[in-house]
């Protein structure tokens, strides 16, 4: 079994709800590509993708692939189940994503999870890297572990 | 005479634990609270010509007006977004309506019989139950977000972000990291509000004392928030009646009360805030570890030509203890990062504190009515009708939920 096939959360977790603008981000996730929406006019990076750049109000974008690295911005170990079958506690985390090596002018944060970590290891500022959880052929979720 | 908006009456139904009110519908409970508040003001239901609400109210003003037989509905209005950020904004909208002459008597109401409905945080149970009912659960797929709120939630729910506890733990965790704030600071907030509730016959937790030791031993919900850091979920309804100064003066006189003026109101959110820490991982770093209400607070002080030291009593929205602490900083009662010291000083207690706060017990200990009960208590604290009276209180700050787009009002006894 390769590492990519590892599972941390059950399929009964809430599934993504998408609109016209966020669907491309999720489609990239299905290919295990972590992306940010980049404004081609001012290089502002934003997640979730939107119809307009909140910095320059431009409306031309590219989905820019990121390197999957980041740091832990904040977190909470949650002891209430969201799905009946999940292991508790689970870690909700905000990840500050590294956009270096791309034209993006800013880093951008993503709400996600820390996996494969003990609660005592959690600390703001620690480096993390993406690991993919394949939920189905259509849906993969970017989670993070300490690197 | 002036049309400046005043609060003239307040009323509520019985408050109970979540799901305990099953023999009366949520909108019927709203009628109870509205009629009690109107009677408290010395008015008749026939005098009401406006209704205002918030938090995706299931009980739309047009139907409440029709059911109550209001002679004419001249103003019906609701503040955007779910949750408790809009309570004071609903009061603000009511005040605008009377001050601009759109209506004479506007009632702000909130009714919650959550056991009769599926609450948002419980959606997972519903989904799990549905999934369990199917012989073979379908593969994980996408569904369409039909509102901007669902599109925003749809980005974070797959990671398990469904509850307020988790949403507001995130900024408070950073506050702890930056300033050394502790769980004990939070415990002292919970204990103080419970002491206030222990004197309040309306409080759901009136007969449940709470110690700091019990707080520290209570189970973790979303680290660092323990059980007693989280507000209750309750059934009940409450309402507030707002009218012009001209009418308020006569009504107050008849009731032997001091007129309570809505001096200033504010609502809103910082740049790019969307639904705050619930959905937005990209709140500006400068304000991430705050309640997000500092800008708004500064506007409020400016509009009212008042300052934090003018406030005698405060009703601060307390869905979570950490949000109280960060709002106290936002509103300038202490410096940024010094909320823990401020709590340690005993400031929030009605027994000699410098800023008696949540004199009814708040959402943590009186009832969770999305914070509209804080407005009721604000008026009572200035009428001298609080269960925990603050002697000669003349000015009261009332705030709504922080960490999401918020609102606040300043009340003054004239
Ligand atoms: Zn741009």
Query: Could you list the pLDDT tens digit for every one of the 147 residues in chain A?
Result: 445 589 999 999 999 999 999 999 999 999 999 999 999 999 999 999 999 999 999 999 999 999 999 999 999 999 999 998 899 999 999 999 999 999 999 999 999 999 999 999 999 999 999 999 999 999 999 999 999
H, E, C per residue of chain A:
CCHHHCCCCCCCCCCCEECCCCHHHHHHHHCCCCEEEEECCCCCEECCCCCCCCCCCCCCEEEEECCCEEEEEEEEEECCCCCCCCCCCEEEEEEEECCCCCCCCCCEEEEEEECCCCHHHCCCCCEEEEEEEECCCCCEEEEEEEC
Say yes or no for a CB contact (<8 Å) between B151 and A17. yes
Q: Report the distance separating Cα A93 and Cα A128, nearest Å.
A: 11
At residue A1, the pLDDT reads 41
* Ranges in chain B, pLDDT < 50: none
At residue A99, the pLDDT reads 98
Q: What is the DSSP letter of B138?
A: P
Partners of residue A119 in chain B, C-beta under 8 Å = 223
Mutation for testing the B interface, residue in A21, A49, A52, A78 having most B CBs under 10 Å: A78
ipTM attached to this prediction? 0.97
Please tell me the distance in Å from B261's CA to the nearest CA on chain A.
Answer: 39
**Residues B270 and B30: beta-carbon distance below 8 Å:** no
At residue A15, the pLDDT reads 95
Residues of B taking part in catalysis: 317, 368
At residue B124, the pLDDT reads 54
At residue B79, the pLDDT reads 96
Read off the pTM: 0.96
Q: Label residue B23 exposed, middle or buried (CB < 10 Å: 0-12, 13-18, 19+).
A: exposed
Partners of residue A87 in chain B, C-beta under 8 Å = none
Say yes or no for a CB contact (<8 Å) between B171 and A74. yes
Give the residue carrying structure tokens 């200035």.
Answer: B382
Q: Which residues pair with A72 in a beta bridge?
A: A95
Full set of structural domains in chain B with CATH? 6-115+231-413 (3.40.47.10)
At residue B160, the pLDDT reads 97
Please tell me the distance in Å from B160's CA to the nearest CA on chain A.
Answer: 6
- Candidates B158, B170, B221; nearest CB to A74: B170
């Amino acid at each position: 079994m390769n590492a990519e096939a590892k599972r941390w959360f059950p399929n009964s977790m809430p599934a993504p709800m998408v609109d016209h603008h966020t669907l491309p981000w999720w489609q990239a996730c299905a290919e295990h590509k972590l992306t940010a929406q980049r404004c081609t006019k001012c290089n502002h990076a934003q997640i979730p993708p939107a119809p307009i750049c909140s910095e320059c109000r431009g409306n031309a974008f590219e989905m820019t692939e990121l390197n999957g690295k980041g740091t832990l911005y904040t977190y909470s170990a949650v002891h209430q189940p969201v799905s009946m079958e999940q292991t508790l506690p689970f870690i909700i985390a905000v990840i500050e994503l590294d956009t270096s090596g791309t034209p993006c002018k800013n880093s951008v944060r993503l709400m996600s999870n820390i996996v494969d970590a003990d609660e005592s290891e959690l600390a703001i500022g620690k480096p993390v890297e993406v690991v993919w959880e394949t939920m189905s052929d259509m849906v993969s979720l970017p989670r993070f572990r300490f690197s | 005479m002036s049309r400046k908006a005043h609060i003239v009456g307040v009323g509520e139904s019985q408050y109970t634990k979540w799901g305990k009110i099953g023999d009366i519908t949520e909108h019927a409970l709203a009628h109870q609270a509205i009629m009690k508040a109107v009677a408290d003001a010395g008015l008749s239901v026939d005098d009401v010509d406006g209704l205002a609400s918030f938090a995706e109210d299931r009980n739309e003003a047009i139907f409440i007006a029709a059911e109550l037989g209001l002679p004419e509905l001249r103003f019906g209005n609701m503040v955007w977004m779910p949750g408790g950020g809009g309570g004071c904004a609903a009061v603000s909208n009511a005040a605008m309506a009377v001050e601009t002459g759109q209506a004479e008597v506007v009632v702000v109401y909130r009714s919650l019989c959550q056991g009769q409905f599926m609450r948002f945080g419980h959606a997972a149970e519903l989904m799990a139950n549905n999934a369990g009912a199917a012989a073979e659960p379908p593969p994980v797929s996408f569904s369409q977000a039909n509102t901007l709120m669902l599109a925003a939630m749809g980005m974070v729910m797959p990671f398990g972000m469904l509850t307020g506890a988790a949403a507001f733990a995130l900024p408070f965790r950073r506050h702890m990291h930056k300033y050394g704030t502790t769980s004990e600071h939070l415990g002292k907030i919970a204990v103080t509000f419970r002491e206030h509730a222990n004197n309040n016959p309306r409080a759901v937790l009136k007969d449940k004392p709470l110690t700091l030791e019990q707080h520290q031993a209570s189970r973790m919900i979303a680290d660092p928030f323990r059980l007693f850091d989280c507000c209750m979920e309750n059934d009940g309804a409450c309402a507030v009646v707002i009218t012009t100064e001209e009418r308020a003066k006569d009504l107050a006189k008849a009731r032997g009360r001091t007129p309570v003026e809505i001096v200033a109101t504010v609502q809103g959110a910082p740049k790019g805030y969307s639904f705050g820490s619930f959905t937005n991982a990209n709140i500006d770093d400068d304000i991430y570890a705050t309640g997000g209400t500092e800008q708004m607070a500064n506007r409020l002080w400016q509009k009212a030509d008042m300052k934090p030291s003018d406030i005698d009593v405060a009703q601060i929205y307390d869905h979570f203890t950490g949000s109280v602490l960060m709002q106290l900083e936002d509103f300038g009662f202490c410096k940024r990062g010094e909320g823990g010291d401020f709590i340690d000083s005993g400031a929030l207690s009605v027994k000699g504190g410098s800023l008696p706060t949540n004199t009814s017990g708040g959402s943590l200990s009186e009832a969770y009515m999305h914070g509209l009960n804080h407005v009721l208590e604000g008026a009572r604290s200035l009428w001298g009708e609080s269960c925990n009276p603050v002697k000669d209180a003349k000015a009261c700050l009332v705030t709504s939920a922080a960490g999401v787009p918020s609102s606040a009002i300043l009340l003054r006894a004239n």
